[in-house]
Each structure stands twice: as structure tokens, then as C-alpha cells.
Amino acid sequence: MSASPADVTAEASRRRSFAVISHPDAGKSTLTEALALHARAIAQAGAVHGKGSRRGVVSDWLDMEQARGISITSAVLQLTVDDVVLNLLDTPGHADFSEDTYRVLSAVDCAVMLLDAAKGLEPQTLKLFEACRVRGTPVITVINKWDRPGQEPLALLDEIEQRLGTLPTPLNWPVGIAGDFRGVLDPATDTMTQFTRTPGGATVARREELDAAEAARRHGREWRTAVEELELLTASGQVHEQAEFLAARTTPVLFTAAVLNFGVAELLAAITSLAPPPQAWQDVQGRPRPVDAPFSGFVFKVQTGMDPSHRDRVAFMRVCSGRFERGMILTHGASGRPFQTKYAQSVFGRERETIDEAYPGDVVGLVNAHALHVGDTLHDGPAVRYPPLPRFAPEHFAVVRARDTGRSKQFRRGIDLLDQEGVVQVLVSDRRGAQAPVLAAVGPMQFEVATHRLEHEFGARTVLEPLGYGIARRTTASATPAVDGKHGAEVLRRTDGTLVALFTDRWRMGTVETELPAGSLLPMFDTGGRDVS
């Protein structure tokens, strides 16, 4: 039985979909695990066990992630807190995987930006914040690692305001300097939450609520300093206003020590109360489709290898409008063909279970959906297509070959799937042949991921030969013979049919361009017309 528009609207209002973004090593995966712990989705936080008994964090499920201690692919976790459903999308922090992070940001309604208390704003943090700004995505800022030595809190807020052009509005304030985290002051109640660590930080930290008098008695100077600093910020107008936050003009700020589970419950409460529920999505023509309209969904990620036993392929779809029911026959926006949704699952890290229904803001994993690609739209009822996602301009290029020619079938299968996922872009040419494709990447770590997965998921060990190119531009069929014949230049075809001209450097590109008709070399534009080359 299909849900009424009122039912869909009510269910959508309970959803909060958000991404956690940060520079590498800011503690993003640890915070993700801590949020899952506080939402009682897991019994212990694997990120903070001692080395002897440590298990991988639930959001870092690839063996390469667990071995290296970094996030290299996004992950989806669904948590329920009281009556609110949280769809948490963990993202890679490393700049080499920024394209994957951008895809995730296209599927959420809010972002949690994590800063290291000692390092403050770092280059990748700035890039990710700018991506949120372009999309108008509201951002909650978390200053993490307050259990370690770091900067002054007022200096960190000043840096946020000066470098991001966004007014930081503290929702709480640390009692104790960085490295001596006693608890947080709540300006709304003028009370203090005092934290006590648990063994190994594997379980929820003990909390004690203190009124102002008791906080002053126990913490003296540290409490008075916190009160004075917060009064200074309040006097300067740095107070949370929901409308300003939703308009992305301000960013609420909280302080945590995720590895100890200090301040995590406060962050969870802020997300459930402040993050916006799903809103109407705009189609390719800029027309909004309300959340209570007939079903529509947007594929923002494709992942293979989540189940090593079956080597299946999962398309992650954000529900944009209406109610999703497992088994419903939808229309594939790109081809107009029917699409069967019999194998639909909810995903928690690597773990999955069958899902029967979903609402706007939820993420559905469609298993073995080989017809679906990143940027595809599925819909029921009136046709709709949402804007496709951009392909970033690659800056690193390498030829890849199978070491064992007897494994060429597995090699080609692996290359095709990694290309569909967007792990790398794959470029081919008649001159190089199908067995020697060129991998194109934003950063070199993508090559490591690709070759690792080719070997361990597809049994195809490879040889990688870096190429001396550093610049990519779109080109035309008429210009291809002239460009392809130049020294330091080459034209290949991306698997979506785009002709891509590669050059060793900007000087070589400029020299070649002077000999070509106008418009022969074009930037690697994204779908909104912005140059991301």
C-alpha cells in the first residue's frame, strides 16, 4: 500500500542526512565510530581499543583502510536516536579522493566539519568547506582532540571567521585548556557537563551535570575563564540563530575529544535538533520536486567488493522524494527503461540487511544494479532527471597492464568496475590497445587503491607505468589528429566517449593550442559550468 503525501512528509521530517568531512588525521573515523556508539548502534568503539584487541572502525571496512588507518572510500551508516533517523555518510579525508567526497556531499543536507584542535583549518578542510558553500550546505563545526595540546579556543574561532568568511557560533565551550579537557559549558543553561573517561575510551564516557556554583567550586579558574570567554563571544553577537545557520552564513561550533567519547552526545543532540530535514530537490531544469511527490532517487555512489564471497556491485541511491518500496518497478531516467528493485538493502558499513521501505533522506543500496551508474536518476510517476555529477580533472596518469596475460579477462573486468565506481578514470586509444589502458587520477593514491583492488578482488596483479603528463583538456574529433601527433601530447578516449587531450605541462599545451582552431581545447568543466580543471 503506497504512503500518502502526509505520511511521506512526516517520515521525511524525522530524517537527518549528513556527511562528516575533514582533513586527514583530524579524527573523522573515530568520531564516526563514537557517534555510532552513542546512538547504541554498536557496543564498543573499535577505533579506541588497545592494539592487542583492536578491530577496525565500522566505517573503514576495506582491508586497505584497516591496514593503513585511513579512509579511502565513503561509507554509509544509519542510526536512530529517539525518534530521529540519522543517515551518516563518512567520507575520505585525503585530497586524492576528493571526487568521492564531492559525490557524498551531493547526497546530504548538512555537513559536520571536523578540525584538529592543534592544527585548525588545513588545506583539504578549506576545499571541502568551499564545496559545501557552493552547494549551500549548512555546516556544523567540531573542534576535536581537545584532550591534547592545541590552540586557544578564541584563536580557532577567529581563524574560522577570517578564513572561511562564516561566523562561528559556539553551542558549548570547553572548560580547561586543550590537553586538560574537564568538560563543556552550556550557554543555554549556564551549566557544565563534566566528563570522566572510561577504560580505553571504548564505551560511553561518564557524564555529570554541574550547576554554575558547583562548577566554580570544583574547577575554579578554568570555569571562570570559560564563562568570561563565552560572555565575550555573546557580546560580539556570536550566538546561534537557526535561520542564519540554514542559510550557511553561520556555523555552530562544539568541542570534543572523540577518542575518549567526550562531547559526542552533545554533537549528536545538535545534529538531531539543528540539521535540516530533507527538502525539495531541483531537477536538471531547476524545478523543485517536493519530498511528498511520487518516488525519485539519485545514484551518488557505486561500490563493488563489499561482499568478497560474491563480488557484488551496490549502487547507493539517495531517496529524494516519495516512498521507496522494495520490489517496485521504477524508470531509469537516462534510458527510460524499467528497473526492478527486488534486491534493496540498508547498509551499515560493510554489513547489510534487506530493506522494505525508505523515505526522503534515506540511502538505499541496490545490489547487482549493473545498469546504474553514478549520477543516474530513478523515478516513479512523472518523469524527472536530476543533474549529473561532475568528473574532476585528473592530474596524474599511468599505463596499467596485467602481469599475467592469462588473467586478462579478470584484469579487464576489474578495470571496468573500478571505472564505473569512479575509483579512477579510464582512458583508451587504438594505439595503446585495450590491454594497456591509461588510468587518470586526481591524486596518486588512487593508483594504489586501484592496483591493490585489482590484485586482491580480481586476482590480477598489475604493472603500473607512470606517464609524464600533467594537464588534461577536452578536445574535439576534428582536432585529434593534430594534437595526437605533437611531441608531449596525446589524445585518448574516456569510457563515456569524451575525448581527452593530455599534455606534459601548460607550456606544451599553449604551444599546441596556438596551431589549432579556436575551441579545440576545452576545460574539464563540471556539470554546473564551473571549471574544475
Helix H or strand E encompassing 398: strand 396-402
Asked whether the beta carbons of 322 and 295 are under 8 A apart, the reply is yes
Distance CA 353, CA 505 (A): 49
- 345 touches 338 (CB < 8 A): no
Q: Under DSSP, is residue 343 helix (H, G, I), strand (E, B) or coil?
A: coil
CA count, 13 A, side-chain hemisphere, 480: 12
Q: List CB contacts of 394: < 8 A, sequence separation 6 or more.
A: 425, 440, 441, 442, 472
Give the cell for residue 25.
588525521
DSSP letter for 321, please: E
Please state, in angstroms and rounded to a whole number, the distance separating the CA atoms of residues 375 and 362.
Answer: 17
Residue 466 in marked binding region? no
| Beta pairing partners, 90 | 20, 75
Joined together, the cell numbers standing for residue 529 give: 559550468
CB neighbour list of residue 485: distance below 8 Å, 6 or more residues apart: none
Nearest to 427 by CA among 414, 409, 442, 440: 440
Q: Name the region of 74 (left: φ>0; alpha: ψ -120 to 50; beta: rest).
A: beta
Output DSSP code: residue 374. T
Q: What is the DSSP string of 510-524?
A: HHHHTTS-TTSEE--
For residue 222, what is the DSSP state?
H
**What are phi and psi for residue 35, nearest 5 degrees?**
-65, -45
Q: Is 94 annotated as a binding residue?
A: yes
DSSP run (H or E) holding 242: helix 242-246
The residue length of the chain stands at: 533
Say if residue 90 carries a ligand binding annotation.
yes
Beta bridge partners of 77: 88
Cell of 391: 568528473
240 is in an annotated binding site: no
**Amino acid (one-letter) located at 397:** F
CA distance 320 to 87: 13
Amino acid identity at 519: G
507/509 Cα distance (integer angstroms): 5
3-state DSSP percent of the chain in helix, strand and coil, to 5 = 30, 30, 40
Residues annotated in a binding site for GTP? 90-94
Residues annotated in a binding site? 90-94
